[in-house]
Structure 1
Amino acid sequence: MTHSEGRDSQPTTWTTLPLFPLHTVALPGVHLPLHIFEPRYRQLTIDLVTEVVPERLFGVVAIRNPTITEVEEPAHVHATGCAVRLREARRLPDGRFDIVATGHRRFRLLSIDTGAAPYLHATVEWADDEPLPDGSEGAEEATARLADAGRAAHRRYCSVAWESDGWQPPPRDTEPALLAYRLASDCILPLADRQELLEERHPLRRLRLTCRLLAREAAFISELSAVPPPQHEVNETLLRPSLN
């Protein structure tokens, strides 16, 4: 259920979502593969597949400290998270699941309910982007230049980071609000950098940040003469769920 109410004379929209704390950051418009093994999150997957959970949406928040294995309060996680929608689920013979979800919409975490269900629930308020500049010719040109710079940084990163040519640039018609996320998704970034991208609510500032991060990481890889592991191995290891 979604509600609207006043806060400091400004309308706000909030809702409740199942909550899945992870040691990674989900980004809007980016696929998130997960291996589901713990009973409570197996149940969440079943509830998503059967649409007991409306719209197959659940919230993902990044855990602040890698030593935390049980999230019990908002202080244990970052305040900005991303609602993701289940796209695919494959049940394994032993009851585990391999799933793919896609980032949908950013939110701010308001509270966590640890007793409502086998898995966590959260009350969140949506945190949408600030508007892009008006549609004047100058604003459109500035947006296009920044998008081109982001794509160029992405090409440079992928050319030095990935041993194969299997990567693909985002489609040319990708919305500016999603482009930074799509470009960054091919880069193995520290959690703090991914969280900074998620928290940045202005699309053009987010593109500038992505350009800087991609350039930095490409320089590191070139200097060290080392490449990240293949992307499928990253998905299987770095994106596994926490022990909640």
Structure 2
Amino acid sequence: MPHRLPLFPLNSVLFPGAPLPLRVFEERYRRLVADVLEEPGHAAAGTFGVVGIELGHEVGDASAPQLAGVGCTAEIRSARRHSDGTYDLVVAGGSRFRLDTVQESDGDTPYLRAETTFLPDELGDGADEYAERVGRLFGVYCERLRGVGVSAEPPREFPSAPLPLSYAVAAAMVVDQSDKQGLLEADHAAQRLQLAAELLRRENRVLTSLPVLPPGRLLQPEVNLN
């Protein structure tokens, strides 16, 4: 069943269940936020689509000329509007979707909209086995990050079930946007966990060769400026 969503293109990837702070200052996205917040009776009130930018940038008239084919709905959990019209939001990832058709902005609606199809969340064969493997590799990953001076503690209630674990690890890893997009687009949890295991092995090898760095913070969501 198709779903129509306003789009918020970003140079980052949002995963189901993951929090994302946003500071919204560009006029068209201020309008987007105002529009979705003003539909209290609508089934998708407070929801918009976050989709990665494959070519282009977030801000300006010529921004985001090429978008990723799969995104994630963002559900507004808190919104603070400032006197200058900007917003501070905290959103949480909801459901993955595929972009079917994109409608360009116009005089009435200054932001992109799209017809989308929500994608199913399936476990896939071998999900439990992959989840156990990824759990071990992610523990090593955090330990090696701490070894190079980066504070990296998983959230206290980090999931162990395959599907939420696949998204939580994908969101927590510090890898390129293209790697994250591949994780988001995986057909099912088993495939996502298999990809995550490969990335974690790669990152763990890299981390063993890094010098010790000053203490920092990781696995904490940064504020994303639109």
Query: Taking structure 2 as the reference length, what is the TM-score of the superposition?
Result: 0.83
Closer, same or farther: CA 21–77 of 1 in aligned 2, 3 Å:
same
Contact preservation (8 Å) 1:105, 1:126:
yes
One-letter code aligned to 1:240: L
Distance 1:62 1:216 in 2: 23
SS of aligned partner of 1:185: helix
- Residue aligning to 1:89: 79
Q: How many angstroms does 1:63 deviate by?
A: 0.9
Q: Deviations over 1:69-127 (max 9, x none)?
A: 55889961111111121111122343221211111111111122222513221111122
1:167 aligns with 2:151: no
**Matched position secondary structure for 2:121:** coil
Partner secondary structure for residue 209 of structure 2: helix
In the other structure, the counterpart of 1:220 is 206
Partner of 1:188: 174
Aligned to 2:92: 102
Q: Distance in 2 between matches of 1:57 and 1:144?
A: 31
Question: Are the aligned partners of 1:170 and 1:183 in contact in 2 as well (CA < 8 Å)?
Answer: no
SS at match of 2:172: coil
Residue in 2 that maps onto 1:33: 21
Judge conservation of contact 1:68–1:76 (CA < 8 Å) in 2.
no
Contact 1:74 1:109 (8 Å CA) reproduced: no
The aligned residue for residue 119 of structure 1 is: 111
> 1:232 and 1:94 mapped to 2: Cα distance?
31
Partner of 1:240: 225
How far residue 30 of structure 1 moved from its aligned partner, in angstroms, is 1.2
Alpha-carbon deviations, 1:171-221, whole Å to 9, x = none? Answer: 44x542221110122211100000100111121111111111122123222
Q: Are residue 57 (structure 1) and residue 47 (structure 2) matched?
A: yes
**Which amino acid in structure 1 is aligned with residue 173 of structure 2?**
C
- Counting matched residue pairs gives 218
* Amino acid in the other structure paired with 1:60: V
The answer to whether the 8 Å contact 1:169/1:183 transfers is no
> Residue 109 of structure 1 contacts residue 124 of structure 1 at CA under 8 Å; is this kept in 2?
yes
Distance 1:171 1:208 in 2: 18
Give the deviation of 1:46 after TM superposition. Answer: 2.1
Contact between 1:18 and 1:122, CA under 8 Å: does it hold in 2? yes
CA 207–199 in structure 1, closer or farther in 2 if over 3 Å, else same:
same
Structure 1: runs of 5 or more not aligned: 1-12, 134-141
Within 1, Cα distance between the matches of 2:155 and 2:220? Answer: 18
50-59 or 37-46: bigger deviation? 50-59
Moved over 6 A (4+): 71-75
* Alpha-carbon distance between aligned partners in 1 of 2:206 and 2:56, rounded to the nearest angstrom: 24
Change over 3 Å in CA distance of 1:216–1:83 after alignment to 2: same
Higher mean C-alpha displacement, 181-190 vs 163-172: 163-172
Identity %: 32
Q: What's the RMSD between the two structures over aligned residues?
A: 2.8
Deviation for aligned residue 1:35: 1.2
